[in-house]
Amino acid sequence: MMIYLYDGSFEGLLTAIYEAYYLKDSPEKMIAETDFVPNLLDITVTIETNTEKADKVYNSIREKISPRSLRNVYYAFLSEDPEVGSYIYRYLRLGWKMGKRIDEYLLEERVLAVHQLCQKVNKERHRMLGLVRFQQLQGDYYYATIDPDHNILALIAPHFQSRMGDQSWMIRDEKRDIAAVCFKGQWVIREIARGFIPRFDGEESQYQHLWREYFSSISIEERFNPSLQKKNMPKRYWKNLVEK
Amino acid sequence: MELQEKLKILSDSAKYDVSCSSSGSNRKNVKGGIGNAAYSGICHSWSDDGRCISLLKILYSNECVYDCVYCVNRVTNDVPRASFTPREVAELTINFYRRNYIEGLFLSSAIVKNPDHTMEGLTEVVRILREEHRFNGYIHLKGIPGADAALITKAGHYVDRMSVNIELPSNEGLKLLAPQKKKENILRPMGQINRQILQSREERKRFKGANTFVPAGQSTQLMVGATKDHDYKILKLTEGLYNSYQLKRVYYSAYVPVLQHPNLPKLINPPTVREHRLYQADWLLRFYGFEAGELLDEENPNFDNHFDPKTDWALRNINLFPIEINKAEYEMLLRIPGIGIRSAQRIITARRMAPVTYDGLKKIGVVMKRAQHFMTCQGKYYGEVGMRVGLIKQFLLPKETKPKTPSWQDRQLSFFTDMAPYRQEAINSIITGEL
């Protein structure tokens, strides 16, 4: 089987898709180098990321298919599913044939695969808008850690930028060692060293305490329903929650 | 009194208000301000009873002068009392909001001294939040029945949603359980809020900068199980509220037996199944084009425990089925049990491209267990037991309820039947001899 290996970045994947159109042997799969397990039968081509080529593909998706389709592809990519490169490749090939109506083919496997990943990512994005917990640091900074299944940091940062515009904050993705940092209304994504230890403000523990108090007294004892609670707020998110 | 103690008392008293929605408003942040509202609403946590926490839901005070029999805060009940100052509430809201614990504030209150005095206090809290803290997050405020119209108007310009709770769905219920409340006092502010919402919408069409008034609409709450009103009466009332007061939501709260009184029913647990059925029916009214009279009537005034209202309706109208998935109008697709709004829309989209197959329906998200009995797909009927109501019922009955005799928990709790008050733990302890 012919497999293209890309460097794991979105640009890398788009470059690989570009090459697939111009190189002679078109691949069956596209896999990020780090996810690839070598196999005797596979023939691999390692694709060098090229911003220019990636841009061409990016613009072509938006213009020849649709902005919505571009969004779907990007969201699906952030799922970090090991198969996502191949799914996107197949989806886009169909997209360039069908044009903007591709997203109406809801029963087509190639469309469904991307839509399902996109939905998963979007669901976690929305969930995380509520589950981020800021802690006040010395010097009036706010700091939060998250540990999401998908790489949604860049999708939630704009929400907090417009909401907490007057506040300096950092949301740190512990799984991926990156952080969104917002200062004076502007945000960027930075890599962050593992050893970083925040220092909390004196008032912080008092408000955490109040929140925990509120959390326990707002529950109606006669309706105790932990399974419903876990369904809505899966346990894997609890370790970053003040109240749990 | 410590802030923590107050928070404990006043959130504990507020928990029976079920509304916690933060949707319907898209208030923007302003320069130098904090917060905005997300139109879809955002849940921030889920408490141990599985209910969503979106807003800081507290009472301004629980020092009530009323004596409503069903209410924990009634004047004759011996509970700890507390009141916040407006600034305490504002501080708490801002600090919780900055930590992203909440989407905003839900502020209610007991009647302190009189309705006007109470409404003034509530309005002062929202004024401080909006004007001094420049807070643009979501605010849901209670309208106090009997308060002066001018006070309601003033508060309405600051908040996103307002609600006046009806609680008891009939006049007889009010007389019996809340003798100081009058139907007119509840409906008057609701009518006023509705008129002003419509008026402000008109104004904003013409002048973009016109003041908002309760942009996320108004809601109310009905208590289920504290009076002998049946489901049909409650649903008819709901329908009337949606049609004539343009309410955004009607909430139902299963009555939690917190007090004992000769006028109150003797319940062991809150009637949550009944509450759930009412919510399902509520959705059918608002999004599925059903009318209350189709779901229930005088002869059949309560919902079935085992079947959701739509399945129940379909079983009673089996002559309208099966419906062909590839031909039916959107409105008819919505009437098939197992097909919701999202799957109906997907079917419409997908079948423009190619006929929808049986496997395709599963991919779209249709619940085939229910839907199979009521539809055909490309002309073929897939139901496992045929179009026979009795057999379909058998098939759809939840497995675990078949052998077991219905326990008091699953049963529709009605006002007069005193059910055997055995709690499951009590039974267990009898078996283990731990009594």
**ipTM (interface pTM):** 0.94
| pLDDT top residue among A20 and B428 | A20
- A151 neighbors A78 (Cβ within 8 angstroms): yes
B197: left (phi over 0), alpha (psi -120 to 50) or beta: alpha
pLDDT at B409: 45
Say if residues A207 and B95 touch (Cβ distance below 8 Å). Answer: yes
Work out the mean pLDDT of chain A and round it to a whole number.
Answer: 94
CB of B107 closer than 8 Å to CB of B142: yes
* Cα–chain center distance at B139: 17
Report how far residue A126's alpha carbon sits from residue B186's, in angstroms, rounded to the nearest whole number.
37
Residues, chain A, total? 244
Name which of B42, B95, B363 is nearest A130 (Cβ-Cβ). B42
Is residue B435 very low, low, confident or very high in pLDDT (cuts 50, 70, 90)?
very low
Q: DSSP E strands: which ranges in A17-93? A: 29-32, 43-46
Chain segment B231-283, per-residue pLDDT in tens: 999 999 999 999 999 999 999 999 988 778 888 888 778 899 999 999 999 99
Q: Is residue A2 within 8 Å of A26, Cβ to Cβ?
A: yes
The residue with greater pLDDT, B422 or A155, is A155
Q: What is the SS3 assignment for B236?
A: helix
Instruction: Tell the residue number behind the tokens 């939060």, with chain if given.
Output: A144
Written as one letter, the residue type at B41 is G
Q: B4, A213: Cβ pair inside 8 Å?
A: yes
CB spacing of A220 vs B36 below 8 angstroms? no
Interchain proximity B364–A107, CB inside 8 Å:
yes
| B79 contact A CB<8A | no
Yes or no, beta carbons of B346 and A232 under 8 Å apart = no
| Minimum distance, in Å, between the CA of residue B27 and any CA atom of chain A | 11
State the pLDDT at residue A21: 87
The confidence score (pLDDT) of residue B18 equals 85
pLDDT tens-place string over residues B141-164: 999 999 999 999 999 999 999 999
Q: Pairing state of beta strands A178-183 and A168-173?
A: antiparallel
**Interface with chain B: mutation pick from A115, A223, A231, highest number of B CBs within 10 Å:** A223
Q: What is the pLDDT of residue B400?
A: 62
Task: Write out pLDDT tens, residues B193-224.
Answer: 999 999 999 999 998 888 899 999 999 999 99
Shortest Cα–Cα distance, A143 to chain B (Å): 9
Question: Across residues A143-153, what is the average pLDDT?
Answer: 96
- The per-residue pLDDT for A58 is 97
Segment B281-307, tens digit of pLDDT:
999 999 999 999 999 999 999 999 899
**Residues A104, B350: C-beta atoms closer than 8 Å:** yes
DSSP labels, B297-318: -SSS-S--SSS-HHHHHHHHTG
pLDDT, mean of residues B400-404: 50
Q: Where in chain B do CATH 3.20.20.70 domains reside?
A: 3-295
Cβ count near B72 (within 10 Å):
17
**List of chain B residues whose C-beta atoms are within 8 Å of the C-beta of residue A182:** none
Superfamily of domain covering B3-295: Aldolase class I (3.20.20.70)
Say yes or no: B101 contacts chain A, CB-CB below 8 A. Answer: yes
As a whole number, mean pLDDT of residues A113-137 equals 96
List the A141-146 sheet strands across, edge first. Answer: A135-137, A141-146, A168-173, A178-183, A186-191
Chain segment B25-56, per-residue pLDDT in tens: 989 998 889 999 999 999 999 999 999 999 99
Nearest to B138 by CA among B231, B65, B224, B38: B38
Q: What pLDDT band is residue B404 in, cutting at 50, 70 and 90?
A: very low
Q: Is the pLDDT of residue A232 over 80?
A: yes
Percent of chain A with pLDDT over 90: 84
Minimum-distance CB partner of B49 among A136, A223, A243: A223
Nearest by CB: A232 against B50, B96, B364: B50
φ/ψ of residue B39, rounded to 5:
-55, -35
In this predicted structure, what is the pLDDT of residue B433? Answer: 33
**Which pLDDT belongs to residue A194?**
78
pLDDT in tens, A163-212: 987 889 999 999 999 999 999 889 999 998 877 788 888 889 999 999 99
Mean pLDDT across chain B = 89
What is the helix (H) or strand (E) element at residue B198, kind and residue range? helix B183-206
d(CA B151, CA B126): 12
pLDDT at residue B421 greater than cutoff 80: no
Whether the per-residue pLDDT at B12 is higher than 80: the answer is yes
**Is residue A16's pLDDT more than 80?**
yes
pLDDT in tens, B60-109: 999 999 998 888 899 999 999 999 999 999 999 999 999 999 999 999 99
Q: Three-class SS of residue A153? A: helix
CA distances from B44 to A120, A158, A205, B20, B21 (A): 19, 18, 19, 11, 11
Instruction: Please identify which residue in the block is written with the tokens 């109310």.
Output: B220
How close does chain A come to B107, measured CA to CA in Å?
A: 14
Compare B416 and B371 and report the one with higher pLDDT. Answer: B371
Q: Closest to A219 (Cβ–Cβ): which among B3, B34, B47?
A: B47
Output the pLDDT for position A110: 96
Domain boundaries, chain A: 2-123, 132-240
CB distance A213–B42 less than 8 Å?
no
Shortest CA gap A168–chain B (Å): 11
Task: Check CB contact under 8 Å for A225 and B8.
Answer: no
pTM, entire model: 0.89
- Whether B2 and chain A come into contact, CB under 8 Å, resolves to no
Question: How many interface pairs between A and B have CB atoms less than 8 angstroms apart?
Answer: 155
Which uninterrupted H or E stretch holds B186? helix B183-206
Region of poorest pLDDT, from B12-21, B194-203, B314-323, B362-371: B12-21
Give the pLDDT band of residue B413 (cuts 50, 70, 90): very low
